[in-house]
Structure 1
Amino acid sequence: MPRIDVPVLHRGLRPLFRVALCSQLLWPALGFADTAYDRMVLDARAGHYAPALDALRQVPPAQATAGQVSDHLQIAGWAGLDAEVVQVYETQGRGRTLPVQALTATARAYRNLKRWDQATQVYNQALALDPGNADLQLGLALTQADAGKPDEAVTRAKALVAAKPDDPSRRLALGYALTRAGKQYDALHEYDQAFIRAGSKPQVAREYVVALQKARLPEPALRLADQRPGLIDPVTRRRLEGDLAAERVRLADLATRSEKERYVIADRALADYDKLLATWTPDASAHDDVTRWRIDRMGALRARARTAEVISEYQKLQGEGVKIPTYALRWVAASYLDQRQPEISTDLYRQVLTAPDADAGDRLEDTTGLYYSLLECDRAEEARKVAEDLAKSQRPRIELKGLPVGNPNDEWMDAQQLAAQAGTYGSDLPHGEERLQALVDQAPGNIGLRLAQADLYLARDWPRRAENQLKETESLVPRDMGLEVAQAHTAMDLQEWRQMDALTDDVVARFPDNRQVQRLARQREVHDMAELRVESYGGKAYGGGSGDAGAVTGSRDFGIESTLYSPPIDEDWRVFAGIGYATGDFAEGTGHHRFQRVGLERRTRDMTLEAEISNHSYGFGDKQGARLAIARDIDDHWQYGGSLEYLSAQTPLRALNSDIKANGGSGFIRWRANESREWKLAVSPSHFSDGNNRVEALLTGREGVYSAPNLQVDAGLEVGTSHNSKSDDVPYFNPKADLSVMPLLNVNHVLHHRYETVWSQQFQLGAGTYSQRDHGTGGMALIGYGQRYAWNDVFEVGGLLSAINRPYDGDRETDLRLLVDLTFRF
């Protein structure tokens, strides 16, 4: 936390203490002074010390009387010559019988010189002569406080206050002892009592201001100083003003305040610092204070979300050789994380957590910062270990005196939540779900847990379940920022575009500098962009029957299709247009297919609808086609859909090359358990213009078998079958009936991940069988390798090179293919 400096105390007792303890040092006033020596003593009592001291210094030590030694000790004490007092006492006074006044002057001199043991000894010697002397008792109490024995000092001072509670000097002494004992607020009570009784005295008011400052109450201290001009010196005042700014920094950093309130307080602190720095930077004597203000000002900048300026000031201070305290390093670490420099923030958070003066109360927040820094460095396993270690270090309950079972520990719950969420980000979603559910069962009213659970539901592809969870939470905190951000993300997944806009607009207006809000606004911005999709393929076949390569796709084929979608129109609609080209070499010659299409897409909750018309040119004039497709969600697990096509885009190019077209359709049903398990069955009938009727069915499924932060392994299965009513005398591959079974192993490995940039590689292996009526059963094998790159939410490109070996009409064929796709939003 920002440090609050306390003005350096004057050497020895403060003025009021001095006056109180000198009350018995003055000799009884003489009505007349008949000798020159008496005149010098009277002058010394009036403040002219030099003549008397010169005379006393000339007296040989062996000839000095006890009275002269006593006079010398007292007058040198009045003059503030502590070293001379001690020297005279040690050479001439020790062993003599001296009056209480002389012993008091000596004890005070020892105390001023911080020779606590000697001061204590002389005070006790004086008290032996005058046990009831309250001033001596106060002096001894103050000495014990300075000597590192605050408990003894407090006990002695309390006894003095109890004997005379209305004496302000005793209250001040007790306050001083309590301060030395580290009990700032108990001390403030005593200073307050002294101020109530003698607040009109400048010395008491000044001590009260200092006590308020030590108790971290600079605002009332400055208010009192403003009421009494000249009460404090300029140095003390500037430090109090710096303390007030530091207090505002602390208030602005409190998580319980709203963003708007925090900004108001942070702006006040920044205005205070700007004024102080402008006033005192040119003053060399204020260098240390200016440095402290620059350090503490970083906290206000951090609270104001001006994190780039925090980093800039930190680097300037480092360049000047300034050692940054631990409390300020926390701000710097958070600023580097906010500015997407997690490597630096990781090092700083580790430094903060291992610092000797680290505040235990900040450990949860700092460890959480370290966790997210590691996560954003793509070091998910290290981040998870940090979260787990934090969870293990916290106790479920705080043990309090008088409460046998203690109180629930909020930090334990927060640490458990972080560890559970670590499973989510570490690709261990099932375990994370179990842990979060157990925590929610223990604390159903915990908003953070409910929001974390909703985020996990989204990660598991259960948006409706997340929506229900968030709706229940809304009744508790209807306008919580985290709630609205989560609801907006859920609305996006559910294609509730208007709801997404309303939520996004609200949080952007209220929390424009929040990174979660900025991320949501960016995703909405990308959603509102135009979109270009490009898909291309190329292949070459080897083998085949009778020297003919490529029974299905030709010996060499190539195709490309580009589709441009408009930005959303009235939220739900998009217009799209596309062009494409395909070519392939067949036994009948080279086929070409050029097509153009234009259509309309509607995306609403639970439904996506597309309608298009198209134009096709494949060597026999231009022909028009049409397509209508729909997909509907039943719930988070079930989806069904279908399409109807006139001049189907799925018509084999080899058929088109022989002027054979096909009309058809398809229907599908899909079941999706979660992010790693799903099955889909599709049935596609079609009618060819040569009279052939084809029915195809395809069952696909996948099951996650291994998951790590940067690695996902899925086992897949593809089972396909088809039946054709006409299998003879057609120029395209047209088995009467066939069945293929292909188990697959798909591996996705992330090579690099930094925020919205992801570079990954994919491996694909498959081995199965293909059975064709009249041609028996043969084995199939598939191997593939690809890479994919995504950047800044708007660009994604991927490629997959594969080779498959399988039989067609009993003849084995190897097909080498390259697929490339690109998506660009603008």
Structure 2
Amino acid sequence: MLSKTPLSFLASQLFQRRLPMGGCLAVLLLGSAWAQAAEDYDQLVREARAGNYQPALQRLRQNPDDLAHLDDHLVIAGWAGLDEEVLQTYQRHPQARLSSGAWAAVARAYRNLKRWPQALEAYRRGLAAHPGDPALQQGQAMTLVDAGRGPEALQKAAALVAAAPRDAERRLALAYVHQQMGEPYAALFQVDQARQLAPRQSRVLSEYVDALQAAGLPRQALAFGERHPGVLSAAQQRSLQADRVAELVRLAEVSPLRDSERFVVADRAIAEADRLLAQWAGDPAAAQEVRRVRVDRLGGLYARARMAEVVEEYERLHAEGAELPPYALRWVAGASLYQRQPELAAELYRQVIASENAKDSDWMDDHQGLFYALVESERLDELPTLADGLVAQQPVRLHPPGMGVAVPNDDWLEARLLQANGRLYRNDLPATQQDYESLVASAPDNSRLRTGLASTYLSRGWPRRAEDQLKIAESTDPRGVALETEQGMVARELQEWRQLDLLADDVIQRFPEQLQAQRLDYLRQVHHMAELRISAYGGHANGGEVNGSRDLGFDSVLYSPPIADHWRLFGGAGYATGDFEEGTGHYRWQRVGTEWTGRNTTLEAEVSHNDYGDGDKLGLRLSGVHDIDDQWQYGWSAARLSRETPLRALNSGIRADRLDGFLRWRQSEQREWRLAYAPSHFSDGNMRHELALTGSQRFYSSPYLVADLGLEVSGSRNSKSEDVPYFNPKSDLLLLPSLNLEHTLYRRYQTRWTQQGQLGAGSYSQQHHGTGAVGLIGYGQRLSLDDRFDAGLALSAVSRPYDGDRELDYRLVFDLSYRF
């Protein structure tokens, strides 16, 4: 309680003591001076109450040992926020008798300086001197919760409210305790009760706004502030507006009931952020809120799939020296991955993960982001450590408190999926298949697992098995984008072109921003493009019995875009030449035809013009390839004037009609066998029968290197003798085992550059000429770009006998496929 010296007190003392007239005059003059001084002091106190503290404090500091004004000094210094001065003044007179207000000022100073024990002791002494003082009791409860003694603070504050439930200040004290204990909604309830008790008290209204903000209700806080002018300061209004943007960004990440509405909230968040940034432009006082809104706007852009803008704004913020919080780095990491910047994404995901632990809700999502960033940056060696570590950390089931049964652990399943996919990306398809089949067996109704198993089957070359799995998954998630995308991939492999178009149209219309939808739509577009195929070769041999000492040739064909889903027209031309003992041979051809593709079937019909030897000839060809199932396939071809006719025979005016047939069994990428038979009827009366068995067995597989063992067993029989103008053994047999290697030199998304090596050693037997060794060595490279361009160049050398004489044949082969 602040001190005051009334003039009436001086007058009463004057007359009670009956002083002489001179003394009375002196006393009256002195009393008048004292009265004026008292009135001046009272004016200083009134100014201090109004917020002008310094004049009163300067007066009080002139006599710090004046016990009569000690309470005033403590209280006014407390109003001014001079906690150190409050404590220094108090400590000069620690045993002085203080008013309740002075004790409150001392305790509050200790509390502001986080000296909880001393603050609680001051409250104890104050309450001992002034029992039941409500301000001291409320301050004590609030200090207890500050000191970490929440339950005790809650008990005291609740008791205060129970004793006087219509006291707004007590409600505010209880609200503070709830707030500090992490109970914002309980705090909001108490402040709301205080607001109803004191609806016009400015402090209560301000506390209500703070409680709404703390409860994550910035929109309501802003609306309340607009209805009560003066409650919000300019800084507080900006803070709430920034909170509102953050709230909209959080809501934008929640999936709506309808896919068509998934961007509505994100668009609102971006629009509000842009409005505020424009409003605050050039206002130095709003710099903090501007930075906040710019950071939160990243989340709105991310939810809206405007990924390029997310990365661009991050780069601007980074250049300005801004430190982004982990949640914002998560958005930038995801956007970087979307924008095919996996190295940046991996770096950012590692920063985010370093700031959290396994209990954070986004912990597994962040590890998934890191996993795919490593995949796309081709750091495949790091995948097992990451995935296996996540599986080891996660129990299969959880035991939530209060539940009598264990529940499946979703994070364990996510970790197992990363483990399985890691094996897929590391080219261990058998292990991937085993993982997915095991997971599907344990959760047969999980469409996501079945879709993953279908993708694995497709990678192994089993589209029909994949189709079966997707049909089962369709029963639980008929329009899931991952399911439909995978169905589109299967339809493409099965040549179900109409189905591919329908699925691609659906996913790209519903989810144009999703990469998997874009990927399917792009592959569909590639299918609808024209296609150019070119193959060429050149060779040099020291004998030239078969192909000539020097030979050269090329073939080109141009396919039209698909017509009515299944048809393509094509036309092409080619040329071959070779040097033989009897002269140089030349062969030119032009061809046109049509191709029909559908499920399980590819058919071609062709008419050709052939210029060789002694004139022009008309050629015809029909061919077909048919899939029986995922393992078995057969094909056939019938050609009048076959381009497989040896050039040396054509140079002598001899043509050949040919039938081809094959049967292929392909278990998977691991092994394959093919049996082919081709009878040819030459115009000189010769009948040739060729039979070939080829196979491969993979024995080594890694992310960048695969090794296969190959075997070719082939032979032929001719009805005529060797006395014809082309190589025509009566019968022969080739046995050639080989080692085939393929090494990936570079891979980046749909760009792949590989090199191939081949080594072979076997034998060749020819009737009447015995058996000789065969050696093969080859090297080549292949480049694939963007699913539209594929080209390869290979050089090989073969040493083998022909008619008993050894020949060394060098051959350079080129092929290209381009869609446009």
- With the length of structure 1 as denominator, give the TM-score of the two structures: 0.91
Residues 697/84 of structure 1: CA separation in 2 closer, same or farther (3 Å cut): closer
Q: After TM superposition, give the deviation of residue 707 of structure 1 in Å.
A: 0.8
- What is the identity, as a one-letter code, of the residue corresponding to 1:69? L
Provide the aligned C-alpha RMSD in A. 2.7
User: Which residue does 1:700 correspond to in 2?
Assistant: 694
1:510-525 equivalent positions in 2, closer than 5 A? 510-525=510-525
Instruction: Give 1:225 shift.
Output: 2.3
Determine if contact 1:738/1:770 at 8 Å carries over to the other structure.
yes
One of 807, 812, 815 as aligned partner of 2:801: 807
Give the Å deviation of 1:362: 1.8
Q: Structure 1 vs Structure 2: percent identity of aligned residues?
A: 51
The aligned amino acid for 2:361 is G
* Inter-CA distance 379–110: structure 2 relative to 1 (3 Å threshold): closer
SS of the residue 2:344 aligns to = helix
Aligned-residue offset at 1:118 = 3.5
Q: What is the deviation of 1:424?
A: 1.2
Residue 608 of structure 1 corresponds to 602
- Write out per-residue CA displacement over residues 771-820 of structure 1, whole angstroms, 9 at most, x where no aligned residue: 22222222211111011111122222111111111122222222111111
User: Which residue of structure 1 lines up, in the alignment, with residue 718 of structure 2?
Assistant: 724
Q: 1:225 to 1:33 in 2, by over 3 A?
A: farther
Q: Which residue of 1 aligns with 2:538?
A: 538
1:70-219 map, 5 Å = 70=71, 72-74=73-75, 85-91=86-92, 93-112=93-112, 115-219=115-219
Q: Secondary structure in 2 aligned to 1:461?
A: coil
Instruction: For residue 109 of structure 1, report the CA deviation from its aligned partner.
Output: 4.4
TM-score by length of 2: 0.91
Query: What is the deviation of 1:196?
Result: 4.7
Structure 2: distance between partners of 1:420 and 1:55: 76
Which stretch of the first structure deviates more once superposed, 164-173 or 49-58? Answer: 49-58
Residue aligning to 2:248? 248
Partner in structure 1 of residue 336 of structure 2: 336
Describe the SS at the equivalent of 2:561: coil
Q: Is residue 790 of structure 2 the alignment partner of residue 789 of structure 1? A: no
Equivalent residue for 1:232? 232
Write the deviation string for residues 198-227 of structure 1: whole angstroms up to 9, x where unpaired: 445443232122112112222222232233
Q: Please list, as runs of the form range in 1=range in 2, the aligned pairs for 1:516-595 lying within 5 A after superposition.
A: 516-542=516-542, 549-595=543-589
SS across alignment from 2:263: helix
Judged with a 3 Å threshold, the aligned counterparts in structure 2 of structure 1 residues 357 and 176 are, in CA distance, closer, same or farther, namely farther
Structure-1 separation of matches of 2:449 and 2:762: 46
Using the alignment, how far apart are the partners of 2:114 and 2:674 within structure 1?
Answer: 87
Q: 1 CA distance for matches of 2:796 and 2:750?
A: 28
Residue type of the alignment partner of 2:410: D
Shift of 1:258: 6.2
DSSP 3-state at the match of 1:295: helix
Aligned residue type for 2:305? A
The within-5 A match list for 1:6-405 is: 25=1, 36=35, 53=56, 57=60, 64=66, 67-70=68-71, 72-74=73-75, 85-91=86-92, 93-112=93-112, 115-254=115-254, 260-355=260-355, 360-405=360-405
Of 662, 668, 677, 1:674 maps to 668
Q: How far is 1:711 from its partner? A: 0.9
Equivalent residue number for residue 487 of structure 1: 487
Query: In 1, distance between residues paired with 2:213 and 2:174?
Result: 17
Work out whether residues 40 and 51 of structure 1, in 8 Å CA contact, stay in contact via their aligned partners in 2. Answer: no
CA separation in 2, counterparts of 1:509 and 1:369? 26
**In 2, are the aligned partners of 1:251 and 1:262 still within 8 Å (CA)?**
no
Question: Could you list the runs of 4 or more consecutive aligned residues of structure 1 that deviate by over 6 angstroms after TM superposition?
Answer: 26-35, 48-52, 78-81, 356-359
The structure-2 alpha-carbon separation of the partners of 1:447 and 1:234, relative to structure 1 and needing over 3 Å to count, comes to farther
8 Å Cα contact 1:371-1:384 kept in structure 2: no
1: CA distance between counterparts of 2:761 and 2:689? 25
Q: Which amino acid aligns with 2:326?
A: T
Mapped to 1, the partners of 2:546 and 2:64 lie a distance apart of 126
Q: Alpha-carbon deviation of 1:100? A: 3.5
What is the distance in 1 between the residues matched to 2:353 and 2:54?
Answer: 63
CA-to-aligned-CA distance 1:113-158 (integer Å, 9 cap, x gap): 5554433222111211333333311011222334454444333223
Rounded Cα–Cα distance in structure 2 between residues aligned with 1:354 and 1:617: 72
Unpaired stretches in structure 2, ≥5 consecutive residues = 12-34
The answer as to whether partners of 2:161 and 2:167 remain within 8 angstroms in 1 is yes
Change (3 A) 1:475 1:226: farther
| Cα distance in structure 1, aligned partners of 2:749 and 2:595 | 31
SS of the equivalent of 1:709 reads: coil
Deviations 1:419-474 (A, max 9, x none): 11111111101101111111111222223212111111110111111111111111
Find the aligned partners of 1:721 and 1:550 in 2 and give their Cα distance: 20
Report what 1:746 is aligned to: 740
Contact 2:330 2:349 in 1 (8 A): yes
| 1:16 corresponding residue in structure 2 | none
2:17 — aligned with what? none
**C-alpha distance 691-52 of structure 1, shift in aligned 2 (>3 A):** closer
Deviates most, 591-600 or 298-307: 298-307
- Number of matched residues? 793
Q: 2-side partners of 1:550 and 1:587: how far apart?
A: 9
Q: Partners of 1:397 and 1:191 in 2: how far apart?
A: 42
Alpha-carbon distance, 1:44 to partner:
6.8
Please tell me whether the aligned partners of residues 804 and 814 of structure 1 are also in contact (alpha carbons under 8 angstroms).
Answer: yes
1:361 CA drift (Å): 2.2
Tell me how far apart the structure 1 counterparts of residues 567 and 286 of structure 2 sit (CA, whole Å): 65
Higher relative contact order (CA 8 A, sep 6+): 1
**1:244 partner letter:** R
Give the superposition deviation at 1:379.
2.0
**2:612 aligned partner, one-letter code:** Y
1:769 to 757, 763, 777: 763
Q: 2:728 aligns with which of 720, 726, 734?
A: 734
What is the CA–CA distance in structure 2 between the aligned matches of 1:494 and 1:360, rounded to whole Å? 44
